[in-house]
Amino acid sequence: MDTVTTIADLRQHVRAARGRGLRIGFVPTMGNLHAGHESLVALARERAGFVVASVFVNPTQFGPNEDFARYPRTPEQDAEKLARVGCDLLFLPDVATLYPLGTGRAVRMSVPGITEVLDGASRPGHFDGVATVVARLFNLVQPDLAVFGRNDYQQWLVVRALVADLGFPIDIVGAPIVREPGGLAMSSRNQYLDEAQRRQAQVLHATLQWMVGEVRTRPSAWRLIEEEAVARLGAAGFEPDYAVLRDAATLDLPDSGFPTGGVALLAARLAGVRLIDNLEFDRP
């Protein structure tokens, strides 16, 4: 695996791969890689002849009181893991490379609607920051396909909207959620939790399973199920942000049922750490 930090070097490697007739697969990350990220690279590997991963902690997607400064940064370990799972090229830009005018003057993406609910409501500007960096990375790497984890379900929908609306010729692949044995979705933020808290956090996945079990048998009672889920999270020691049942394609309220399937999503704080998870389900 080669590592590049400049746009010129990135373009040269990608051009060479294209010259060899290879499809370019891309996996954007913020580093501190775990088995979830590795599964994305493996999926890209299956579908593309040349796999590019990026590691970049994107300042424009963090709010003023969020963990940008203390977000875990482990570049050496990340490079080792990526090489092991078959990544061909690691793009490791600094902030000035991705934002040459500075973040204050950067051209920004704004994706209305889908970015304003759920995590977008709790984290104003977060998804526009994600869309901004993803559009930049897509423009620099120019991949044929890009893989995103469905653990960040709303992010995945935002990226799909971005690509559909701007006409990026990129297939967006949604990868299944990789979980710890007890059901906790893998996340770089799990490191902020001690062992006991990680066990406690298994309640998140269990709550989603309960919600999906209930909505399958009584879909019109979705509001009651949401309320009960929030109460369960509170009783289990979490500060719940939301626990909801939504249309899987739009995140709209399921007032007319779940015609094309649904998704249970939740966000809750444990010991000050904000955790999210979701579980998709077929039309009940």
**270 DSSP β-pair partners:** 273
CB of 31 to ligand AMP, least distance (A): 6
Give the residue nearest to ligand AMP (CB).
149
Smaller CB distance to ligand AMP: residue 18 or 200? 200
Task: Report phi then psi at 139, rounded to 5.
Answer: -65, -35
Those residues whose C-beta lies under 8 Å from the C-beta of residue 148, and which sit 6 or more positions away, are 28, 40, 155, 156, 159, 172, 173, 174, 175
- Distance CA(73)–CA(132), nearest Å, equals 21
Q: Which of 155, 190, 149, 142 is nearest to 40 (CA)?
A: 149
Please identify every residue annotated as catalytic.
37
Check binding of 178 to ligand AMP (CB under 6 A): yes
Does position 245 bind ligand AMP by CB under 6 A?
no
Q: Between residues 162 and 230, which has the closer beta carbon with respect to ligand AMP?
A: 162
Minimal distance, residue 267 CB to ligand AMP, in Å: 14
Q: Cα–Cα distances in Å, from 193 out to 184, 188, 197, 254, 273?
A: 12, 10, 6, 34, 8
Is 93 near ligand AMP (CB under 6 A)?
Answer: no
Would you count residue 30 as binding ligand AMP (CB under 6 A)? Answer: yes
**CA–CA distance, 50 with 194 (Å, rounded to integer):** 38
In three-state secondary structure terms, 260 is coil
Q: Closest approach of Cβ 74 to ligand AMP, in Å?
A: 11
Nearer to ligand AMP, 225 or 266 (CB): 266
40 binds ligand AMP (CB under 6 A): yes
Q: Of 148 and 168, which has the nearer Cβ to ligand AMP?
A: 148
Which helix (H) or strand (E) covers residue 230, if one does?
A: helix 222-235
Close Cβ partners of 76 (under 8 Å, ≥ 6 residues apart): none
| d(C-alpha 39, C-alpha 85), whole Å | 9
Q: Does 37 bind ligand AMP (CB under 6 A)?
A: yes
CB of 179 to ligand AMP, least distance (A): 7
Q: How far is the CB of 38 from ligand AMP (least distance, A)?
A: 9
Which residue stretch of 34-42, 90-98, 109-117, 262-270 sits at the interface with ligand AMP (rule: CB under 6 A)?
A: 34-42
Binding of ligand AMP by 149 (CB under 6 A): yes
- Tell me: does residue 152 bind ligand AMP (CB under 6 A): yes
| Residue corresponding to tokens 């066990």 | 199
Contact footprint for ligand AMP (CB under 6 A): 29-30, 36-37, 39-40, 148-149, 151-152, 175, 177-178, 185-188
